[in-house]
Amino acid sequence: MGMNRHRGGLFDRGRGGDTADLREHNLALVLRYLRDNGPSSRAQIAASSSLGLSTLTGMIGELKTLDLVNEGLAGTQPRLGRPTHAVSLSGDAWVVAGLRVDVEGVQAKTATVGGDHLGSYADRADLRGGDPAPAIRMLRAAIDWIVESIDPHRRLTAITISVPGTLSPCGDSVARAESLGWSDVDLMTCVREQLQAGGCAGAIVEFARDSAVAVLGLARGELRDRIGDRTALYFGGERTVVGAILLAGEPLSSGPSGEADFARIPVQAPGREAQRLGDVIDLSALLTTSGVMAPDDAAELVDRFPREALSAFVAALSEGQEGAIAVLTGAMGAVGQAIEAAAAVLGGELVVLDGYLGVLGSLVEPPFDAAVEVIALGSHPSRVVDGAVYAARDARLAQPSRIRD
C-alpha cells in the first residue's frame, strides 16, 4: 500500500513547486482548517497553519474576493479589549455535486461549497448486464438535472462520481466493476460533454470508488467526532468486502486505482489452508457454506437483492441454525485476523465495519488483540452519495484560486 499522494483532497493533484503552487497550497490549508474547525480567528488559523499573520491577511483577502470566506464579529466578545473577528467558510455562490452510479441506478445530491444542502435526485433502474449505455444515458440525465437545478446566481464548480469496482490508473474510467459487468468503460467523455452542453465546462470532474467516498462521508458526517484525525480502516460492501483508508481524516490513495484491497488479506481457519478474507466473508459464501441456500440460488439472490440475501442469513441465525452460527463465528474470526494485519501495517486506530459486515459485526464481534476501536454500522442508502458531495467539496477547496476558470 503506497503513501498518500495528496493530503487535502481525495485524488492526486501534483504540485510543481513554484510560488503560485505554494500559494495555492496555503490557500487550501486555510480553507481546510475552516472546513474542519468552523469560524475561527486569524490567530487560530495562523497558529495551526504556521503562516504569518501578515501573509494570512493577504490570503483571507484573496479568499474573500473569490467568495469562499467571509469575516465578521465573533459570536462572543470579551468585555475589554479589541473586538475579535471570526473568519468562516462561505462559498454560497459555488455549487458542488456528488453522484453515485451502481446496479440500482443513479443518485445525485448538490450542496454549496459552504456545506448547505441544495437538492437530491434519483433515477432507479437495473443496470446489470455489462452494457454501459443505459448508465451513461442516466448519468447524462442526472448532470442535466444538476445544471438545471442551480440558481442563476450560483455556479457548478466541482463534481465527484462514485462507482463500484476499480478505476483506471489515470482515474477517468472504470477499469473493472463486477457488479455492473463493466470493463474499461469511459465515463469521463460523456460527463465532460454534458457539462459543456450545460455551460459548466470549467467544473472539476473526478471519479471515486464507492468505498472511498463512503468512509469520507462517515468522517465528515455521522462519525465526524469519533473519527477525528485518527487513522481509520474501512471494511464495507453489500456483497463482498471492499476497503478504504483514512489517514488523519483524509482519504489515502493506496495505488493507481485508489484501492485498499482488504479482501486479499490472507486469513487462517483452524485445520484449513490460508484463504483470502474475501473468499471467507463473501455473502454468497456465508449462505452456501452454512447450508442456508444452494450455491446457484445464493449467487443469484446476492447479485440481485443483497439486502434480502443478508436478511435470509440473519433469519437463519435468529432461528438458531447451527450451521449459520458456526459459519458466522468462523467468518468473524477471519475478520479479526484481517483487522490485526491491516492495523499492524497501517497503524490503524479505528476500524469501521459497514454494509453487511456492519450488520454481522453487531451480532458477533470480531476477536482481535490489536489496540483499535471497532464501530459496526448498518447500510445507509445515502452514505455513498453524501461522501461524493464531500469529495467534490474537498476537490474544490484544494484548488481555490482557479474557481472562476
Q: Average of pLDDT values for 27-48?
A: 89
Q: What is the pLDDT of residue 380?
A: 78
Residue 234 — very low, low, confident or very high, per pLDDT cuts 50/70/90?
very high
For 221-321, where are the alpha helices, taking DSSP H only? 224-227, 277-281, 283-289, 295-304, 306-318
Q: How is residue 217 written as a grid cell?
A: 462521508
- Dmax over Cα atoms in the chain, in whole Å? 76
Taking CA atoms, 187 is separated from 96, 99, 184, 247, 252, in Å, by 19, 12, 10, 28, 23
Range of lowest pLDDT (81-90, 190-199, 388-397): 81-90
Residue 172 — very low, low, confident or very high, per pLDDT cuts 50/70/90?
confident
Q: What is the pLDDT of residue 269?
A: 73
Q: Average of pLDDT values for 238-257?
A: 75
Pick the CATH number of 94-214+384-402 from 3.40.50.300, 3.30.1130.10, 3.30.420.40, 3.40.1010.10: 3.30.420.40
User: pTM for the whole thing?
Assistant: 0.87
Residue 254 — very low, low, confident or very high, per pLDDT cuts 50/70/90?
very low
Pick the CATH number of 19-89 from 3.40.50.10330, 1.10.1740.10, 3.40.1390.10, 1.10.10.10: 1.10.10.10
Query: Does the pLDDT at position 403 exceed 70?
Result: yes
Q: According to the CATH classification, is domain 227-379 in 3.30.420.40? A: yes
Same CATH fold assignment for domains 94-214+384-402 and 227-379? yes
Q: What is the pLDDT of residue 169?
A: 83
Angle at 397 between CA 392 and CA 399, to 5 degrees: 100
Cβ distance 94 to 403 under 8 Å? Answer: yes
pLDDT in tens, 68-107: 998 876 555 455 445 567 899 988 899 999 999 999 999 9
Element (H, E) at 195: helix 188-197
Query: Does the pLDDT at position 215 exceed 60?
Result: yes
Q: How is residue 268 written as a grid cell?
A: 487462517
Q: What is the pLDDT of residue 81?
A: 45
In order, the DSSP letters of 58-94 are HHHHHHHHTTSEEEEE-SS--SSSSPPEEEEE--TTE
Q: What is the pLDDT of residue 56?
A: 87
Q: What is the pLDDT of residue 55?
A: 85
Distance between CA atoms of residues 93 and 201, nearest Å: 17
Phi/psi of residue 343, each to 5°? -65, -35
In order, the DSSP letters of 122-142 are EEE----SS--HHHHHHHHHH
Query: Does the pLDDT at position 238 exceed 50?
Result: yes
Query: Does the pLDDT at position 1 exceed 50?
Result: no
Distance between CA atoms of residues 91 and 74, nearest Å: 19
Residue 129 — very low, low, confident or very high, per pLDDT cuts 50/70/90?
confident
**How do strand 155-163 and strand 117-124 relate by DSSP bridges?**
unpaired
Q: What is the pLDDT of residue 271?
A: 63
Break the chain into its structural domains and give their ranges: 19-89, 94-214+384-402, 227-379
228: three-class secondary structure by DSSP: coil
Q: What is the pLDDT of residue 93?
A: 92
Q: What is the pLDDT of residue 258?
A: 42
Measured in whole angstroms, how far is the alpha carbon of residue 382 from the centre of its chain?
Answer: 11
Going by C-alpha positions, the residue among 99, 102, 104 that lies closest to residue 121 is 99
| DSSP single-letter state for residue 238 | S
Distance between CA atoms of residues 87 and 331, nearest Å: 50
The mean pLDDT of the chain is 86
Phi/psi of residue 182, each to 5°? -100, 150
